[in-house]
Structure 1
């Protein structure tokens, strides 16, 4: 990715994608002064101190807040002391109805992939156990696979297991009825699968420790689960997620932080870390200069700031609420507007206001009538600390309500404030 010097190039540099690799080195801006803490450093310190005992960590934050970029920074800090196995759950399977058995299988699959990639010799007894687990005649027939003789060579068994893994992964990614078959096969024998996965982890850990490394799993995009799916996974099956004998970081939906049962979830895990949104306003509604300065620095790294009229730039920073994803979406929409005008060469107020109107429309479609009382009460509440309930969880899920750091407080997204003003539900002059 190259720094934008033309309006059209904003469409590339303002895609809502996390920074990694060379792009991280070129464009990353440290945001801890605006967020209140450096989550990557905190996670590294926690893991470094507790490296000898597998830690299960929840890493939460709003969608689009920068968690993936923060996790990339963590990977750089971990350096050569850890063997990082990182993946997005959305790249592996369909998450719309994700079940705990799906996640355990995906973890086994990814660990096996990395073991083979690293050339780790798989212990024969472990291979036999994996073979015995999956080599069920009825199950194989339902997956339309070929059987392998129990006396087959280790190479043949690895080949069979690889074929099973590919088939099950495909089913969990796209299957419907077949997905039910896979789950019904795994669920009654889940403890065996966890034992087999832990044996594989031990196998890999021993090989890595000879090289001075420690394995760690980083699982992204679990924070994007819908509320019922997330509750089923993290609340009802939280103990299963902590049974694997490997350092694991689970991205975690911020709305569950406001569940009445969050303490039950928290107590099952070793540690949790929250990446707060960058503050553009303070709790009393006044301008947060540090937060706005940081966001401007982020944009300066990616683009020539002269592509924006000063007033237009200040407007979209304020109206983003500190949500970088919303900021980049508005810039892209404004850039498309300018590109449609003959001779225009700057993002102006008309373009950003048009982009902001589209953002407001997106939020308006997410807010139901039952949410209005919760939103109005929070807007008028001076301490900005709402009580946990179902409405608040839904509003956090769609980013209508944002949590900020400091003494932990919430506020409405600026677009939502303007929607409520348009409806006459709150006064135009804030009662802060």
Structure 2
């Protein structure tokens, strides 16, 4: 195996499109970003007058929310009993509703208590175990085998919640008309854990921003009061597009007492400057995104000018930055196999152009003529005709449109989408 192949393989592994959730991953790849966002979250958590505040955390898909939340949760773990989990690891994403979100909170509270070896009275533990086992149809033998190591039991329960639609439906039907019973059990578990750990509870639920917009509306419009009833702090994630809907934004503002934190995309240019000849990107943003690339791929494998082009094509979205570089690595790995004697293969302008073409096809297959008009309007005037129009919200949700802030709210279209429209002579 050639050294070049192995170097690109390592870079390809480093460029997985996954958030940095473990301590190892954070140490290896973390770069300083989102400091103000972390400070906002910390202030809302610590200064909660009642200790049961509900906070909404919004941002573009791929802007680095999950990694930032993982970093934030580690920071808060000294003061709070922190439960951080992805809803996608607990529930099938197509079947998320307010009841199974609440049930997942209860499961994860107990799972984390077992993981941290919180000393809870055995009789109380057994009572909780039996309650969960009955509602998830955990077999009697399975339950008996696992109660001595409850952490494993809750892994089994989590697996059933994610894989078994019948169990999810049974839980939904049981608590649909008596949601207060489920809330009471959650609060009972939380009170026991808080008393035993001597720490107040902080639950952070990630990836709720990745569910379909229709489901998001149903959860937060129709069932927000039930979702916000647990007597402890909870941070919920939502898609940024939800905050553009007047009714939804008003509901969230009222129910959270305006405790909404929006994580901005890294702004590479001031409004309108991206299209100007010889415009210079903002140095601080370029430096941060360059650091992201440098921590994942050796500079010997990529031409310096190509690094800057990748950053510009990303639009400042962290996931797009990693996705483009990952695609470039895939192309180089194929080239090395095709030309094993060529030791000069690296990510250059030609490789990048092939990567952008591949990603362009993905973008292009999902939009049509009606979308072109919305995108053109946004490109020309930095806002659509109607920011509340459903199709615009879908484009915002899908990263065709990017939201920026610098004293005022404005929009731009993804740089790769810009090129698609230019090729089609729509711009």
Asked if TM exceeds 0.5, the reply is yes
- Residue 289 of structure 1 pairs with residue 276 of structure 2: no
Indicate if the aligned counterparts of 1:378 and 1:386 stay in contact, CA closer than 8 A: no
**Counterparts in 2 of 1:359-378, with a 5 A limit?**
359-378=359-378
- Residue 13 of structure 1 pairs with residue 2 of structure 2: no
Name the residue aligned to 1:225.
211
- Residue 120 of structure 1 pairs with residue 115 of structure 2: no
Pick from 5, 22, 25 the counterpart of residue 24 of structure 2. Answer: 22
- Residue 203 of structure 1 pairs with residue 192 of structure 2: yes
- Residue 318 of structure 1 pairs with residue 323 of structure 2: no
CA deviations on 1:276-333 (whole Å, 9 max, x unpaired) are 1111232113343222222112222333223211232222111111122122222122
CA deviations on 1:48-81 (whole Å, 9 max, x unpaired) are 2227612211111111111112112212322411
Q: 1:131 to 1:192 in 2, by over 3 A?
A: farther
**Counterparts in 2 of 1:374-393, with a 5 A limit?**
374-382=374-382, 387-393=387-393
- Residue 243 of structure 1 pairs with residue 240 of structure 2: no
- Residue 44 of structure 1 pairs with residue 50 of structure 2: no
Alpha-carbon distance between aligned partners in 2 of 1:178 and 1:69, rounded to the nearest angstrom: 31
Indicate if the aligned counterparts of 1:130 and 1:196 stay in contact, CA closer than 8 A: no
Name the residue aligned to 2:277.
none
Alpha-carbon offset, residue 242 of structure 1: 0.9
Alpha-carbon distance between aligned partners in 1 of 2:286 and 2:263, rounded to the nearest angstrom: 17
Name the residue aligned to 1:400.
400
Alpha-carbon distance between aligned partners in 1 of 2:186 and 2:153, rounded to the nearest angstrom: 15
Alpha-carbon offset, residue 372 of structure 1: 2.2
Alpha-carbon distance between aligned partners in 2 of 1:394 and 1:361, rounded to the nearest angstrom: 18
Indicate if the aligned counterparts of 1:31 and 1:278 stay in contact, CA closer than 8 A: no
Q: 1:166 to 1:30 in 2, by over 3 A?
A: closer
Alpha-carbon distance between aligned partners in 2 of 1:178 and 1:303, rounded to the nearest angstrom: 44
- Residue 182 of structure 1 pairs with residue 171 of structure 2: yes
Name the residue aligned to 1:309.
303
Alpha-carbon distance between aligned partners in 2 of 1:242 and 1:196, rounded to the nearest angstrom: 14
**Counterparts in 2 of 1:31-430, with a 5 A limit?**
31-32=33-34, 38-50=36-48, 53-117=51-115, 118-122=117-121, 143=137, 145=139, 169-209=158-198, 213-261=199-247, 262-270=249-257, 271-286=259-274, 287-290=280-283, 291-339=285-333, 340-341=335-336, 342=339, 343=342, 344-382=344-382, 387-406=387-406, 407-426=408-427
Alpha-carbon offset, residue 103 of structure 1: 0.7
Indicate if the aligned counterparts of 1:384 and 1:409 stay in contact, CA closer than 8 A: no
Alpha-carbon distance between aligned partners in 2 of 1:108 and 1:398, rounded to the nearest angstrom: 32
Alpha-carbon distance between aligned partners in 2 of 1:265 and 1:347, rounded to the nearest angstrom: 45
Corresponding residue SS for 2:230: coil
Alpha-carbon distance between aligned partners in 2 of 1:163 and 1:27, rounded to the nearest angstrom: 30
How many residues of Structure 1 are paired with residues of Structure 2 in the alignment? 405
Q: 1:265 to 1:164 in 2, by over 3 A?
A: same
Alpha-carbon distance between aligned partners in 1 of 2:409 and 2:16, rounded to the nearest angstrom: 29
Corresponding residue SS for 2:119: coil
Q: 1:376 to 1:196 in 2, by over 3 A?
A: same
Q: When the two structures are superposed, what TM-score results if normalisation uses the length of structure 1?
A: 0.84
Alpha-carbon distance between aligned partners in 1 of 2:154 and 2:25, rounded to the nearest angstrom: 33
Q: 1:263 to 1:336 in 2, by over 3 A?
A: same
Alpha-carbon offset, residue 127 of structure 1: 6.7
Alpha-carbon distance between aligned partners in 2 of 1:96 and 1:405, rounded to the nearest angstrom: 32
Alpha-carbon distance between aligned partners in 1 of 2:146 and 2:416, rounded to the nearest angstrom: 57
Alpha-carbon offset, residue 130 of structure 1: 8.4
Q: 1:8 to 1:425 in 2, by over 3 A?
A: same
Alpha-carbon offset, residue 189 of structure 1: 2.2
Alpha-carbon offset, residue 371 of structure 1: 2.0
Q: Which runs of 5+ in 1 are unaligned?
A: 148-154, 427-432
Corresponding residue SS for 2:177: helix
Alpha-carbon distance between aligned partners in 1 of 2:294 and 2:17, rounded to the nearest angstrom: 16
Q: Which runs of 5+ in 2 are unaligned?
A: 275-279
Alpha-carbon distance between aligned partners in 2 of 1:423 and 1:415, rounded to the nearest angstrom: 13
Q: 1:288 to 1:388 in 2, by over 3 A?
A: farther
